Amino acid sequence: MAHVAEWKKEEVKDLKSLIDSHSVIGVVDLLNIPAKQMQQMRKSLIGKAKIKMSKKNLIDLALKNSDSKTNITELAPYMKGQPAVIFTDLNPFRLFKILEDSKTPAPAKAGTIVTEDIVVPAGDTGFEPGPFLGELQQIGIPAKIDKKKIVISKDTVVVKAGEIVSKNIASALTRMNINPMEVGIDLRVAYEDETIYASDLLNIDADRIMQDLVYAFQGATNLSINASIHTRKTISPIINNAFSKAMNLAINASIVNDKTSQVLISLANSKMLALASQLTDVEDALDEELLNKFSSIPLVSTPVVSKEEPKDDDEEESTEEDAAAGLGALFG
C-alpha cells in the first residue's frame, strides 16, 4: 500500500473541517487571476468568506469524507481550470453578487478566448500619425488621419465572442488603453442545504426580482381587499370601502342619519335651485329668500351621485371622517 504524505492527510482534514463548519460551499476558478488582484480579493472577502486553494484530488477526497452534507460530492465535476473552494455562511446568491462586484477591468491577453465581442469605439485615438496607423488598419480597424491625429471612423468589432485574441490585437488594445476583459473570481457552483446551484442559476437580476415582488405584493393586497380577507394591511381599506358603499347607498336611497343629513340637504338644495332656474318668471315664482340666493350664488348644475359601486383597485386609505368630508365638499 502506497505511503500517503502527512501534509496531504492534514490538508484533507483541514478541508473537511471547513466543509463541515460552513453552510455554503462553493467551487471557484482562479485561472488567469494575477497575484496582486488575488490578494485584493482575499482582503475584500475577510469576514464574509474564506478561499482555500488545493489539489483537485485532495478537494475531491475531502468532499467524499464529509459526512455532514448530503450530495456535497456533486461539486466535484465543476472543479476545472484552477479550482479552489470557498466557504461562507452567506446565501449563494449573495456570495455570487459579491464576487461579481469585485471584478475589475483588465487588458486582453493574446491567446484568450473571449465570451463577448470586443469593440473598438469610433473617435480620436490620441495618437499622432505614425506606424500605429498601419497597425490598426492591419487588424481591420478603419483608421485615418484627421487634424493631425489618428482617428477611427466607426465602431469596429475586432474579436467576436468565442474567438481567440491575437497578439497584434492584444497589443493594439493595450496601447489604446482598452480593457475589454474582467479579472475576478468566477463562482462555478455553490452548495446549500443539499441543493446544488450552478452559476447560471445564481446570476439573477436583483432589480427585476424586487420589482416582481412589489407587483406580487400589490396584486395580493388588491385581491385581499376585493375578497374582504382581513389582515393588518387590508383592514383599513376594507372598512373605508364598506363605508363608502354604505354612504353611497344611503344617499341614493335618501336615508337620513347623522352622516348623510348634511349631504342630502345640500343635494336637495342644489336640485331646488336647479329647478328654480328653469322657471320663466323667476321674480313671480320665487320668494325673497330664493331671489337673494340667485343674486349672490352662481347657479350650479345638479350634482350626480353615482349609483355604481366605487372601484377598489386603486383605493386610497382614509378614515370615515375623510370620506364624509369628501362627500360634503362635493355636494355642499
Q: Does domain 6-103+184-204 fall into CATH 2.40.30.10?
A: no
Model confidence pTM above 0.75: no
- Digitized pLDDT (tens) for each residue of the chain, 332 residues in all: 457 788 999 999 999 999 999 999 999 988 878 787 888 888 888 899 999 999 999 999 999 988 889 899 999 999 988 899 999 999 999 999 999 888 888 888 898 888 889 999 999 999 999 999 999 999 999 999 998 999 999 999 999 999 999 999 999 999 999 999 888 888 999 999 999 999 989 988 878 888 999 999 999 999 998 898 988 888 999 999 899 999 999 988 989 888 889 889 888 888 877 777 776 555 565 666 666 666 554 544 444 444 444 445 444 444 445 444 443 433 34
Contact indicator for 151, 143 with CB cutoff of 8 Å = yes
Angle in degrees, CA 290, 294, 299, rounded to 5: 120
What is the CATH code of the structural domain delimited by 118-181? Answer: 3.90.105.20
* 297 CB-contact burial (10 Å; exposed 0-12 / middle 13-18 / buried 19+): exposed
Q: Which pLDDT score is estimated for 282?
A: 54
Give the sign of the dihedral formed by CA 304, CA 305, CA 306, CA 311.
Answer: positive
Q: Which pLDDT score is estimated for 22?
A: 95
Domain coordinates in residue numbering, the chain: 6-103+184-204, 118-181, 211-331
Q: Which pLDDT score is estimated for 326?
A: 41
Q: Which pLDDT score is estimated for 287?
A: 64
- The neighbour count for residue 309, using CB atoms within 10 Å, is 11
Q: Which pLDDT score is estimated for 332?
A: 40
Q: Which pLDDT score is estimated for 94?
A: 92
Residue 284 contacts by C-beta under 8 Å, 6 or more apart in sequence?
none
Nearest one of 231, 170, 65 to 239, comparing CA atoms: 231
